[in-house]
Structure 1
Amino acid sequence: MAQRRSNLASKTSRAMLPASDTPEWEVISPGVRLGYRRGRGTHGRGGSWLGASRATDGKRLQTKLGRADDAAPADGADILTHEQAKAAARAWVKTLSAGAEAAPALTVNAALDKYFEARTAEGMKSVDDAKSRAAFHIRSKLGNAKVADLTIEKIRSWRDGMVSAQKRRRTGKFAEKVNSVTVDLTDPEVIRRRRDTANRTLTTLKAALNWAFNNRLVSDDTAWRLVRPYRGTTAARIRFLTPAEQKALVAASNGSIRDLVSAALVTGARFSELARLRVTDYDAVNKSVFVAESKSGKPRHIPLPAGGAELFERLAQGRGGNEPLLTQHSGVEWAKAVYHRPWKALLKQARLSDVTLHELRHTYASTMVRNGAPLIVVAQALGHSDTRMVEKHYAHLAPSYVADTIRRLAPDI
């Protein structure tokens, strides 16, 4: 397809533009624009050429390049043709880049700091998890490296090192004080989990470096753009409780941990969402709870079954609107990680193992799918923007004509 000719390329086309103090712009290369201003009072002198770009901090920069050869022949200095003006604009931008290069080179640590600061200001919900992941896996290996010095091989070697390390550092998620534990690198599940972690960490690194590139703090994104994540690392099989296990878990619990478990089972909400619920978030008229902040950033209303409505009715009764709905035994609202000890004690009492509180969210979703709820309804209840995650984890549980037909007609030994 032929490229559209610029309105600024010839004297004739420029003469057809209306006289205005507002320039007409064209992009002549990435990050560089050429402008032409045919002012109202030029009095036969012709228009003027302008150049525009952005500084490394994102601030818009503009300069006057010279007059256009509308009324007088070009001299290559004060009066410029269209092509000469484009060359002058590019040369001006190079002087900006040269000045930027004189500033201290951006390190990976600095890029992470700037990225997290920007995302926090934008309301990023999972910034704490990303910060912890960066502190544990990125800063210690790449933090002091200059972003401009990163290479494809250096980033790929760092990514692969997260998988091949013989020792696993452990004492809690992303802990700073850790013990080394030898792992079995011949175990496919160990490798899968490590590759999944490497992918998540690579995503965090790329996000920070892309932010720096898009904000003109660095000039080349090739090194990280060409490093791909591992394939086939996310296991679709997840753990969820059977109806008997759900009853055993609730029956074995009491007090504040029972309320937390019950609330998780009837809402499918994440722990962080449950911990933030206030009395005013329970709608007694519509029998629902309102989740104002979620991981996706989208608020949602969760309708409650009869038992769930009774639970939240009891929790809200006689309490101030801004008080937390769910609290610890001491009356203090739940905080991150403080539920682990009572949760483990509850699992032991219920004779269950290898279950996390988050898997009550999976239990909520899987129970609805098994009972015939449309996947879009389940996705909306969980706060997902579409059905992809629900299809991935729960679609095989849905009532199926194909599955029923196979069970009815296939050979049965």
Structure 2
Amino acid sequence: MARTRKDARINTRSARTSLQQRKEPYWRSISKGLAVGYYKGATSGAWIAKHFTVATGRRKASLGVADDFEDADGIRVLSFDQAQAKARDWASLKAQEDTGEVQSGGFTVAQAVDEYLAHLTKVKRKPQDRTRAIAKAHILPTLGDVELGKLRHGKIKAWRDSLAEAAPRVRTKAGKPQAYRTMDESQQRARQATANRILTVLKAALNYAKSESRRIASDAAWVDVKPFSKVDVPKVRFLTADEVTALMRACEPDFGHLVKGALVTGCRYGELTAMTVKDFAAKEGTVYIADSKNGESRYVQLNDEGIALFAELTHGRSGKDRIFVKANDTTWKKSEQKRPMDAACEAAKIAGVTFHILRHTYASHSVMNGMPIEVLAAQLGHKDTRITMRHYAHLSNDFKKQMIRANAPSFGFGNKPGPQLVTKAG
């Protein structure tokens, strides 16, 4: 059917009101072989797409409701521009299915997550236990059975919001009903930050399904689901010198070694407990981290205090021995640091401190003593300086302020003169 003048005027709500109701849609070509159609119904309008190629012939698809009487939401109700975009995505998907590039057939979010985790395991050469646990707890129960082709922006957004609105669980004894904490503003911000991290895992898996394994042609369902803003600004807690002294006095000897190791290296609990004697190089003053959180190895430089501690703990021991062991010479297991840390903090009357705070303590005092952010990032194993800056830049700025006030030259006209100018140029 040849396109009439009225057929082309479907791009605005006002233009569509003058159209007559009819069985045949009003078509508008948007690219070669592809057209968007507007069907004028008795009570509302609808968008459809039509695609023609010599190889496949003519195909049609329903796109959604036209925004004649409701504002467009980009999901169910579409504007003309949104209908065009959806038509192009549909045509692209069909073309890629025809060539075998996109694998259709009910591929689910759970399968996409499995593929992505297998990819990460291969690239990083280690099991992705933490990422897998996040997916199992927070992604798969709600979205796991959904086919990629049936994912919708609204469903993913509602899932993200539900993560942020869920109150933190309180640890309860077996057989007791699950209890939840009442959230204040800071806890709500923390829950939104957690939702952002989980959303990152989902989007990474879906992006891999689109770009690498070619399971879906369009990322329209998730690309515009944004993380919550201004929620992940950390308030870094670190120990003062007096708190460190009090904590060390309260620790059992074997746990005290582990605490000292964290304070002189800034290493994570898992990194410390995996260290073996051969990882310490006394001559170079370093300790080697074979497997860090981001999957990369690194060397941590030690100061004199750190070298002395590691030399004491490794003296006369086999290279395969773990450096940090419990009093009965067994290795520290996952999460075994919590009970002794809580006990030591209670005895020392220190509140709001976990083992991870020891890492913040090392980093915070390093920056306040003048360590450049770039050097600290390498010590901590951050992939780039953005994470380090986000946590510790304000402490670096305080240090710079103090150094400027103490060392910037004085010209003699202020009430509180600083260092005097030299009398002769060097």
Task: Give, in whole Å, the separation in 1 of the partners of 2:290 and 2:336.
Answer: 22
Which residue does 2:244 correspond to in 1?
Answer: 246
| Residue pairs, 1:59-78, within 5 angstroms | none
Which residue does 1:19 correspond to in 2?
Answer: none
| Residue pairs, 1:4-403, within 5 angstroms | 94-97=97-100, 100-101=103-104, 103=105, 105-123=106-124, 127-165=128-166, 167-171=167-171, 179-185=177-183, 187-214=184-211, 215-398=213-396, 399-401=399-401
Secondary structure of 2:287 counterpart: strand
> 2:277 touches 2:323 (CA, 8 Å); kept in 1?
yes
For 2:334, the aligned partner's letter is K
Secondary structure of 1:400 counterpart: helix
5+ residue gaps, structure 2: 1-92, 409-413, 416-426
For 1:331, the aligned partner's letter is D
Secondary structure of 1:381 counterpart: helix
How far the C-alpha of 1:395 sits from its partner, in A, is 2.3
Task: Give, in whole Å, the separation in 2 of the partners of 1:154 and 1:203.
Answer: 16
- CA 1:158–1:99 in structure 2 vs 1: closer, same or farther (change >3 Å)? closer
For 1:344, the aligned partner's letter is D
- CA 1:190–1:140 in structure 2 vs 1: closer, same or farther (change >3 Å)? same
Secondary structure of 2:256 counterpart: helix
How far the C-alpha of 1:170 sits from its partner, in A, is 4.1
Secondary structure of 2:107 counterpart: coil
> 1:125 touches 1:295 (CA, 8 Å); kept in 2?
no
> 1:240 touches 1:366 (CA, 8 Å); kept in 2?
yes
- CA 1:403–1:157 in structure 2 vs 1: closer, same or farther (change >3 Å)? farther
Task: Give, in whole Å, the separation in 1 of the partners of 2:314 and 2:353.
Answer: 29
- CA 1:99–1:270 in structure 2 vs 1: closer, same or farther (change >3 Å)? closer
Task: Give, in whole Å, the separation in 1 of the partners of 2:367 and 2:374.
Answer: 10
How far the C-alpha of 1:220 sits from its partner, in A, is 2.1
> 2:233 touches 2:390 (CA, 8 Å); kept in 1?
no
For 1:200, the aligned partner's letter is R
Task: Give, in whole Å, the separation in 2 of the partners of 1:225 and 1:178.
Answer: 41
Identity %: 35
For 1:106, the aligned partner's letter is F
C-alpha offsets along residues 123-166 of structure 1, whole Å, 9 cap, x if unaligned?
2668222111111111111111112111000100111111224x
Which residue does 1:23 correspond to in 2?
Answer: none
C-alpha offsets along residues 282-323 of structure 1, whole Å, 9 cap, x if unaligned?
112122211122223332222222222222112111211111
> 1:170 touches 1:178 (CA, 8 Å); kept in 2?
no
> 1:284 touches 1:313 (CA, 8 Å); kept in 2?
yes
> 1:268 touches 1:360 (CA, 8 Å); kept in 2?
yes
- CA 1:244–1:126 in structure 2 vs 1: closer, same or farther (change >3 Å)? farther
Secondary structure of 2:228 counterpart: coil
- CA 1:213–1:289 in structure 2 vs 1: closer, same or farther (change >3 Å)? same
- CA 1:330–1:375 in structure 2 vs 1: closer, same or farther (change >3 Å)? same
> 1:125 touches 1:294 (CA, 8 Å); kept in 2?
no
Task: Give, in whole Å, the separation in 2 of the partners of 1:194 and 1:116.
Answer: 24
Task: Give, in whole Å, the separation in 2 of the partners of 1:151 and 1:91.
Answer: 18
Task: Give, in whole Å, the separation in 2 of the partners of 1:176 and 1:142.
Answer: 28
Aligned pair count reads 315
- CA 1:397–1:177 in structure 2 vs 1: closer, same or farther (change >3 Å)? farther
> 2:101 touches 2:214 (CA, 8 Å); kept in 1?
no
How far the C-alpha of 1:365 sits from its partner, in A, is 0.9
> 2:160 touches 2:195 (CA, 8 Å); kept in 1?
yes
For 2:193, the aligned partner's letter is D
- CA 1:250–1:242 in structure 2 vs 1: closer, same or farther (change >3 Å)? same
- The TM-score, its normalising length taken from structure 2, stands at 0.67
More divergent stretch after superposition (215-224 vs 238-247): 215-224
> 1:169 touches 1:179 (CA, 8 Å); kept in 2?
no
How far the C-alpha of 1:385 sits from its partner, in A, is 3.3
5+ residue gaps, structure 1: 1-89
For 2:247, the aligned partner's letter is L
The root-mean-square deviation of aligned C-alpha atoms, in Å, is 3.0
> 2:251 touches 2:340 (CA, 8 Å); kept in 1?
no
> 1:171 touches 1:178 (CA, 8 Å); kept in 2?
no
C-alpha offsets along residues 182-204 of structure 1, whole Å, 9 cap, x if unaligned?
4435x221220111111011101
How far the C-alpha of 1:96 sits from its partner, in A, is 3.9
> 1:126 touches 1:295 (CA, 8 Å); kept in 2?
no
- CA 1:299–1:209 in structure 2 vs 1: closer, same or farther (change >3 Å)? same
- The TM-score, its normalising length taken from structure 1, stands at 0.69
How far the C-alpha of 1:257 sits from its partner, in A, is 0.2
Which residue does 2:41 correspond to in 1?
Answer: none
Secondary structure of 2:355 counterpart: coil
> 2:276 touches 2:321 (CA, 8 Å); kept in 1?
yes
For 2:400, the aligned partner's letter is S
